[in-house]
Amino acid sequence: MTFLLELLGATLRNATPLVYGTIGETYSERAGVLNLGIEGTMYAGAFFGFAAAAITGSRTAGLLAAIAVGLAAGALMGLLTVTIGTNQHVAGIGTTLGLIGISEYVNRLWFGSGQGLSRIEPYPPWEPLGPNNVFSQYGLTYVAFFLLAPLAWWVLARTHFGLNLRAVGENPEAADSAGVNVARTRYAALMIGGALMAVGGAFFTLAALGSFTLDIIAGRGWVCIALVIFGRWRVWRGVAAALLFAAVYALQLRLRILEEFQAIPFELLLALPYLVVIAALVISGRNVAYPGAYLKPYRRE
């Protein structure tokens, strides 16, 4: 029983950055832009969030810095894919490479000469129900599941902004002829999405670890891309997909230390969550309806 409760707690914790990333990517893609800058945006969010917190001594300043970096990264994607109309794959991978490079460079400038790792005091877990295996989580985790996910769904489904966002992602010509500003809507979606991705990255440095290490995101941005497709561009299905991945991830960590699994190379177990995502994509990802204007820049004739 304890094992299961611990597993559940770890699942929620591991899923948190993925929920931010997946919802952020969902917003971008529902507006018609595949944002492959997600990996770099999470990375830059992790680093600059940490750096701002380390320099000012305020975790709130760190979080705000991460949000600012995410907004900027989203605006950069907007400039490349909406205003200039470049290929979205190239723009996204370029953004990721650029942001990772900048983060590592500034890291060496600011923290490179020190002895050992710089650390900040991370956010403490919050236990509203007292000592507890499940509800001992960071504030960002509660926000992700109880505030962000319902709010993100509500905005998409119920507000005018959400309607416009979905329309420019499905049929920008129709949205334009109805008087919706396609470029502005896509910029907004990319910037909101970027801010969420960056917060997802900052979760590692500001909450889970309290320090910044190279390769801290380790491909979780790419995982989010797959989770969005697995979730068929729905907020709730994306959250469920993130939970599935995180559950398998937490499970393999625990299996590694069990006697019975010592014979299996731990690298195989480490690959398990990724294999599950691939399998899930293969099973459920066929014939999915992509947003109608996916990957297409919009130009009025």
Partner 1 sequence: MSEPDGATSVLVELRAVTKRYGSLIANNGVDLSLRAGEVHGILGENGAGKTTLMRILYGLTRPDQGQVLVDGESVTIRSPRDAIGAGIGMVAQHFSLVTPMTVAENLTLGRPQGLLIDLEAARAKVDEAADRFGIRVRADARVADLSVGEQQRVEILKALAGDCRVLILDEPTAVLVPQEVSGLFATLRRLTAAGLAVAFISHKLSEVLDVTQRVTVLRRGKVVGTVATADTDERQLATMMVGRPAAPAESAARSPGDTALRVTALDALGRQGLAALKGVSFSVAKGEILGIAGVSGNGQSELAEVLSGMRLPTAGSIEIDGRNIAGFNPRRMMAAGIGRIAEDRYAAVVPDLSVAYNLVLEHLDEFRRGALLDETRIRANADEMISRFGIVSGPDDPVRKLSGGNLQKVLLARVLSRNPKVLMVSQPTRGLDVGATEYVRGEIVAQAQRGAGIVLISEDLDELLALSDRLVVFYEGRVVGELAAAGADPEQLGLLMARGSAA
Which residue in the set 5, 84, 151, 174 belongs to the binding site for partner 1 (CB under 8 A)?
174
Contact of 31 with 186, CB cutoff 8 Å: yes
Nearest residue to 235 via CA among 41, 13, 22, 14: 22
Closer to partner 1 at the Cβ: 106 or 155? Answer: 155
301 touches partner 1 by CB under 8 A: yes
Residue 139 CA, chain-centre distance (Å), reads: 17
Residues 6+ apart with CB under 8 A from 197: 20, 21, 24, 25, 35, 38, 41, 42, 45, 70, 73, 221, 224
Cα dihedral 215→44→187→240 (10° resolution) = 50
Which of 59, 166, 186, 220 contacts partner 1 by CB under 8 A?
A: 166
Kindly tell me which residue out of 89, 108, 119, 158 binds partner 1, with binding defined by CB under 8 A. 158
Closer of 105 and 154 to partner 1 (Cβ): 154
The correct pick among 173, 214, 275, 288 for binding partner 1 (CB under 8 A) is 173
Total Cβ atoms within 10 A of residue 69: 30
Q: Does 164 bind partner 1 (CB under 8 A)?
A: yes
Which of the stretches 144-152, 176-184, 219-227, 274-282 binds partner 1 when contact is defined by CB under 8 A?
176-184
The smaller minimum CB distance to partner 1, of residues 129 and 289, is found at 289
Tell me, what DSSP letter sits at residue 209? I
The distance of closest approach from Cβ of residue 99 to partner 1 in the complex, given in angstroms and rounded to an integer, is 33
Cα 221 from Cα 194, distance rounded (Å): 12
Min separation Cβ 63 and partner 1, Å: 26
**Residue 170 touching partner 1 (CB under 8 A):** yes
Nearer to partner 1, 31 or 99 (CB): 31
In contact, 242 and 145? CB cutoff 8 Å: no
- Using CB under 8 A, which residues numbered 97 to 156 contact partner 1? none
Q: Using the rule CB under 8 A, is 180 a contact of partner 1?
A: yes
Q: How many residues bind partner 1 (CB under 8 A)?
A: 23
- CB-wise, 159 or 262, nearer to partner 1? 159
d(CA 206, CA 61): 11
Structure tokens at 265: 């190379």
Q: Which residue, 17, 26, 2, is CA-closest to 249?
A: 17
Q: Which of residues 239-298 bind partner 1 (CB under 8 A)?
A: 287, 289, 292
Q: Which is nearer to partner 1, 166 or 186 (CB)?
A: 166
Binding site for partner 1 (CB under 8 A): 158-164, 166-167, 170-171, 173-180, 287, 289, 292, 301
